[in-house]
Structure 1
Amino acid sequence: MKKFWGDFHTNMHKNHMDDFDQWVDFAKTMVDFWGPVYYPYRGIPVCEGFRAEGLEPIEETLDAWKVVNDKSQRDDFIIYPSYEWQGNGADGDHNVFFSEFDEDIYLPNTYAELCDILSNKNAIALPHHPGYKPGHRGKNWETHNEKVSPVVEIYSSHGSSEASDADIPLNVHMHMGPRGEEGTVYWALKQGVKTGIIASGDNHKYPAIAGNGYFAVYCEEYDRNAILEAMRNRHTYGVTRSKMDVHFDVNGAIMGSEINAQANNVANIRVEGTNAIKAIEVVRNGICEHTYNYHPIRTLPEAGTVKFKFELELGWGPDRRLFKDICEKWWDVRIHTEGKFHSFQPLWTSPGSDVELLDEQTLTGRIITRKEDDGNGKLSQKNYLTPYIQNQSVIIEIEDDIDNDVVFEIDELSYRIPVRKLLTQSILEAKEEQVAKLLKESFDFDSYYREDPWWHNAYKFVIHKASLDSKYTVEEQYDLGDLERDTDNLMIKVIQYNGDIAWTSPVYINK
C-alpha cells in the first residue's frame, strides 16, 4: 500500500475566501490532500450586551460554501469540500467531508440527525478535540456512529485528547477546557468503541501548520474515493509535528483492521523516526500494557560512514513590544556535506519558505520566520508549544564519514561543524552583531550591566543534536498472549526524544 499525508482541519471563515488559492499553494507544499473546513459560526448577540457562538446568517454560509466547492475542484491536488458541524453542542464538534462536489451544507441540531443525512452520501463526519467535557463540545461516545465517524482527531492545535493524564495538555482554548475523562480517545477504547486515529491542525490562519498535527493514510492509490475509503477502514495514524514513518500490524493486518484471533497473535512494529526514539507504548483496550524504552547514545563509532538526522530551527528575534514594525526575517541557508543528503522534511509554520537539493552534497534554502506581538488565539502556530512565534525548521538526513565536517552557511556567516559534534550536542548561535546595531540605531543603547537586551532581541538558530539511524529506526514484535475480552483493540504510541509523538489506529481482534 502507498502512504499519503493530509490535514483535515483548516477552519476557513467567510473572510478567508479570497485567500483560498494561496492556502492551496501552501497546503500543497506540506501534505498530499487537504480539507478546507468552512466554519459557519460566529459570535451573535443573544441579549443586550452579551454574545454567544452560533450560526451565521444562512445566506453568508451558502455563499462561502459555494466558493469552497468551486475552489476544491482541481486536477493537481485532492481537496475535500468540508465544513464544521457543532449542532447543540451535546455530542461534540464534528467536521464533515464530502468526496463529491456541490453537496448541500447540512446543519441539523443533533448528531443523530446529521448521521441520518450523511449515511446515504459519500461523506464522513470526524470528531475533534473530543477530550473536552461531553455535552460541552467534547465527544459523546455513547451516541457515536462508527460508520459515519470512522476516525477521531486525537491531537490538534488545541492539544491532546489521548487521555485525561496525557503528557501533552489540552489547554490552548481555556474557555472550552479543562480536559475531562469521558471524551478522551483512550476512554472510548476502554468502552469498546471502534475508532481510528488521526491528527490535524484546527488552524484558523493557514493549512497544514507544522506542530498542529498531520495524519497518514495507507491506501492503494492517490484517488479521492480511495483515500476516503481507507479512512473508513481506519488505515490511519496521526503525528503531532514531524512525519514519522510508522508501520503497525497484527498478524499482517494493518492498523485499523478488524480480524479474527489466531492461535498466536503477534504485533509487528516498524518505525523510522525523525529524531531518536525514546519509547514505544503498546496500548490494549485504552491502557498501556507494555513500553519499549530506548536509551540515548553513549558511544560513537570509532570510524567509518554514518547516517544521521538533525533539525535546523531558525527564528526568535526582536521583542515586538519594543520593535513593533519588525515582524519577520528572511534567512539564506546553504548546507554542504562531503557525503550525501538522503532526505529533508520541511516543517513550515507559515507560507513563503523553500528548500531544495542542488545536488547530493548541497542543500539551499530561503526561509522566512515570523513573530507576532500578542497572544492572538488564531495565530498560525496556535498550540501548546509556541503560541506567539512562527519559527521554521527543516529535518535533514545525511550520510557521511564520522570524521568529516558539515558546513552551514547561515546568512553572511559560515560554520564548519564536525559530524562527531553534531552527534553529541546541539549548536546554538545568535546574530549578536545585528541586534547590537539595531539597539544602537533605535535607542542609542550600547551598554548595560547584563546581556539580556541583546540576547532577548537577537535572531537565533539551533542545530538540534543529531541522531544516528540506529536510534531513529526501530523494529519490534509483540506477542499479545490471551485476549482480555471478546474484541480487543491494540495500538501503539511512538515518543521521540524531541517530544514528537505518533499514534496509530488500533487493530481490532475478535476471539
Structure 2
Amino acid sequence: MEYKKLWTDMHSNIHHEQMELLPEWFGQVKKIMDFWPVAYYPFYMRPTESGLKVEDRYEDGLIKMDWEQIREFANQANKEGYPVFMGYEWQGTGKDGDHNVFFLNNDGEQKHPDTYRELAAAYKGEPVIGIPHHVAYQPGSRGKNWDTHDEVFSPFAEIYSCHGCSETDDGPLLMKRHVHMGPRTGETVFERAIEKGYRIGMIAAGDNHSVPAVFEHGSMCALAADCTKEAIWEAFVNRRVYGVSQSRIEVDFFVDGAEMGSEITTGGEAELLFRIKGTAAVDRVEILRDNILEKMVVHSGTWERKEQSGVIRFKFRLEFGWGPDIRVYPDAICRVWNGLLKVEGKLLGVEKCWNNFGQELTSQTEDSCEFALTTYQSTATGKWMGPSNVTTEGFIFEVEADADSFIHLTVEGKEYAFLVRDMLKSSSVTALWDEVEKLTEDTWGKITHYRDDPWWHNAYKFKVGRAYPEDSYLLEHHETINVEEDCCYRLRVWQKNNDAAWTSPVFLRTGHGLAEKKED
C-alpha cells in the first residue's frame, strides 16, 4: 500500500500559563506540520517552605480547567478538518521515566498514578498510547524503566529531542543540553528495549516548551493512508513511524515488502529494500540487525566526481541570522528579513527550517518565492527548561536549473546573484556590512581597529549553503539477507551535514532461535 509521509512535532508541551497562547501555537504548527498531538504539561516549580523549588503537579481543579480548554480546541480543530490529538505528560514518581499520553478520541481524561504499570492498566483496552521520551537518563531518576514496559500501550519511543539522543550511550549525538538531568547512561537507552525483545518503534520529537515544531530539535514522520486521525492512529499503533534530527529526510524501508514497524514471519532469506531522498548529500546508511551494525552502505564517494552540466536538480539550504552580540548591543534582540528568491528554472520544493514564531512564506510560484523571517539572538524565556539560543531561520530549496544559471536573491531590496556551478563547490556567507558599520558608529562613534572583529562579529549574515546535486541525496539499495533466528532490522541514516534519521524496525520471526518476546 502507498502511504503518505505526514510530519509533526509529537512533543510540544504547552503549560498552564501559556494556555492563552494556544491559538498562536496552533498557527505555527499549521504552517509546518500535517497534524498535531498537543502535549499539555501539568507541572510547575513549586516553592517549598524553605524556598527550594521542586517540580510538582498543579492542583486537579486547575488541570481540569486547562484540559477542558484543550478539549474544546481539539474539537474545533477537528471540525475544521485539521487532525489534533489531545495529550498530556505523565511522570509519576519518576521511577519509570516520563511519558506523553495521547488519545484517539477527544473524550479522554488525564490520570496520574504513581507508576507506569498503573498508568497502562488504567487505559487498557482504550485507544490511548503512552510514549516514553529522553529514555537514557538514570534509572529511577526520570530514565525509562524497560522492565515495566508495555509494548501495546507504548508502541514506540522518542529517542531524539532537544535533550539529545537516547538511542545508545556511545553515539555522536550527545545529551548535554539539560545537564541537570544527565548524564545519560547505557542502562536505559533504546537499545535495551531491543535486547529485551520488545516490538517497539522509534521517533524524534522536539520536547519544546516555548515554541512548537522547532526545526533544530527533531520531528517525526508517520506513514499513514491519509491525513485523518484514524489513519494516523493506525500508523501509531502499528509502529509505522520514524524520526529525523533536523531536516525531513525521506525514508522508505521494507523487508519482504513489509514497511517499518511490521512483524513478519520468514524463513531462510528475506529481501531488504530502502530508498532515501535526503535534504543534502547522504553520507551513509547503517543497516542494524538488532543493535549491531550488519552492513554500512556508503554513499559518499559515489557521486562527487560526476560532471554536472546542463539542466540538473539540486538542493541547498538558505539561512538568515547571526548578528550583534547582545552583551555589546543589548537592544539588538531580533531582526525581520524580507526576501525574494528567484531561479532560472523551476523551484521544485521548499522545506521550512523554522525555529521560532514570526516566519512567513508569503508566496510561491514555479520559479520564485517571497518570504519574511524573524531571527532572534536568544529565545530563552527564563523557564527552567527554556530553549537554547536559536539564531537562524531559513529554507531548504530543491531546484531544477542549468548548472551555469544563477540563483537570484533579494534581501531588503538589495540583489545578489549566485552561480549554480559555484554553489556546487562551496557554501558562502554574506554580511550586511552597511548595517553593522552604521550600528557601530551610532553606538560607539568612529572607531578603527587593525582587524574587522568589531564589525564581523556583530554583523547580520545570511548563508547560501552548498548545492548538492540529485545524485548526492538520492539512494536506493536492495539485497537479500539471511535470517536464521528471530531478529529485527532497522536503519540509521546519516547525511554529510550530520542530520540523521532513524527508522522503526521490521521484526522478523522464524519460529526457531527465538529472541525473548514480550506478550501483548
Asked if 2 retains the 8 angstrom alpha-carbon contact of 1:408 and 1:415, the reply is yes
Asked if 1 retains the 8 angstrom alpha-carbon contact of 2:337 and 2:411, the reply is yes
- What secondary structure is seen at the aligned counterpart in 2 of 1:25? helix
Task: Give the structure 1 partner of residue 408 of structure 2.
Answer: 407
Change (3 A) 1:373 1:473: closer
Task: Give the structure 2 partner of residue 335 of structure 1.
Answer: 341
Asked if 1 retains the 8 angstrom alpha-carbon contact of 2:267 and 2:483, the reply is no
State the one-letter code of the partner of 2:229. Answer: R
- Which sits farther off after the overlay, 427-436 or 38-47? 38-47
Task: Give the structure 1 partner of residue 501 of structure 2.
Answer: 502
Partners of 1:4 and 1:100 lie apart in 2 by 19
Per the normalisation by structure 2, the TM-score is 0.94
Residue 42 of structure 1: CA displacement?
Answer: 1.7
The reply on whether 1:350 has 2:356 as its aligned counterpart is yes
Partners of 2:140 and 2:49 lie apart in 1 by 23
Task: Give the structure 1 partner of residue 422 of structure 2.
Answer: 421
Partners of 2:472 and 2:97 lie apart in 1 by 40
Partners of 2:458 and 2:312 lie apart in 1 by 37
Task: Give the structure 1 partner of residue 108 of structure 2.
Answer: 103
Task: Give the structure 2 partner of residue 366 of structure 1.
Answer: 372
| Selected match of 1:92 from 92, 97, 107 | 97
The reply on whether 1:322 has 2:328 as its aligned counterpart is yes
Where in structure 2 are the equivalents of 1:44-443 lying within 5 Å?
44-46=46-48, 48-73=50-75, 74=77, 75-295=80-300, 297-301=303-307, 303-355=309-361, 358-372=364-378, 376=382, 382=387, 387-443=388-444
- What secondary structure is seen at the aligned counterpart in 2 of 1:280? strand
State the one-letter code of the partner of 1:9. Answer: H
- What secondary structure is seen at the aligned counterpart in 1 of 2:283? strand
Residue 480 of structure 1: CA displacement?
Answer: 2.2
Task: Give the structure 1 partner of residue 513 of structure 2.
Answer: none
Q: Deviations over 1:114-157 (max 9, x none)?
A: 00111132110000000111211111111100000001001111
- What secondary structure is seen at the aligned counterpart in 2 of 1:281? strand
Partners of 2:363 and 2:56 lie apart in 1 by 48
Change (3 A) 1:302 1:234: closer
Q: Deviations over 1:371-407 (max 9, x none)?
A: 1286956687x3xxxx212310200011111121221
- What secondary structure is seen at the aligned counterpart in 1 of 2:482? coil
Partners of 2:225 and 2:291 lie apart in 1 by 29
| Selected match of 1:26 from 22, 28, 31 | 28
Partners of 2:227 and 2:241 lie apart in 1 by 15
- Which sits farther off after the overlay, 80-89 or 298-307? 298-307
Asked if 2 retains the 8 angstrom alpha-carbon contact of 1:131 and 1:138, the reply is yes
Partners of 1:169 and 1:376 lie apart in 2 by 24
- What secondary structure is seen at the aligned counterpart in 2 of 1:364? strand
Task: Give the structure 1 partner of residue 518 of structure 2.
Answer: none
Partners of 2:446 and 2:87 lie apart in 1 by 53
| Selected match of 2:8 from 6, 9, 12 | 6
State the one-letter code of the partner of 1:43. Answer: M
Partners of 1:373 and 1:29 lie apart in 2 by 20
Partners of 1:365 and 1:10 lie apart in 2 by 25
Residue 51 of structure 1: CA displacement?
Answer: 2.6
Asked if 1 retains the 8 angstrom alpha-carbon contact of 2:286 and 2:296, the reply is yes
Asked if 2 retains the 8 angstrom alpha-carbon contact of 1:195 and 1:505, the reply is yes
- What secondary structure is seen at the aligned counterpart in 2 of 1:12? strand
Asked if 1 retains the 8 angstrom alpha-carbon contact of 2:299 and 2:475, the reply is no
Partners of 1:20 and 1:167 lie apart in 2 by 35
Partners of 1:39 and 1:124 lie apart in 2 by 16
State the one-letter code of the partner of 1:280. Answer: V
Residue 207 of structure 1: CA displacement?
Answer: 0.9
State the one-letter code of the partner of 1:465. Answer: R
Partners of 2:508 and 2:313 lie apart in 1 by 38
Partners of 2:383 and 2:428 lie apart in 1 by 31
Task: Give the structure 1 partner of residue 457 of structure 2.
Answer: 456
- What secondary structure is seen at the aligned counterpart in 1 of 2:471? helix
Change (3 A) 1:302 1:368: closer
Asked if 2 retains the 8 angstrom alpha-carbon contact of 1:210 and 1:349, the reply is yes
Asked if 2 retains the 8 angstrom alpha-carbon contact of 1:350 and 1:390, the reply is no
- Which sits farther off after the overlay, 441-450 or 31-40? 441-450
State the one-letter code of the partner of 1:185. Answer: F
- What secondary structure is seen at the aligned counterpart in 2 of 1:211? helix
Identical positions, percent: 34
Asked if 2 retains the 8 angstrom alpha-carbon contact of 1:281 and 1:492, the reply is yes
Partners of 1:444 and 1:364 lie apart in 2 by 36
Partners of 1:510 and 1:302 lie apart in 2 by 46
Where in structure 2 are the equivalents of 1:441-480 lying within 5 Å?
441-480=442-481
State the one-letter code of the partner of 1:54. Answer: D
Change (3 A) 1:163 1:108: same
Change (3 A) 1:461 1:376: farther
Aligned length: 504
State the one-letter code of the partner of 2:201. Answer: G
Partners of 1:40 and 1:15 lie apart in 2 by 10
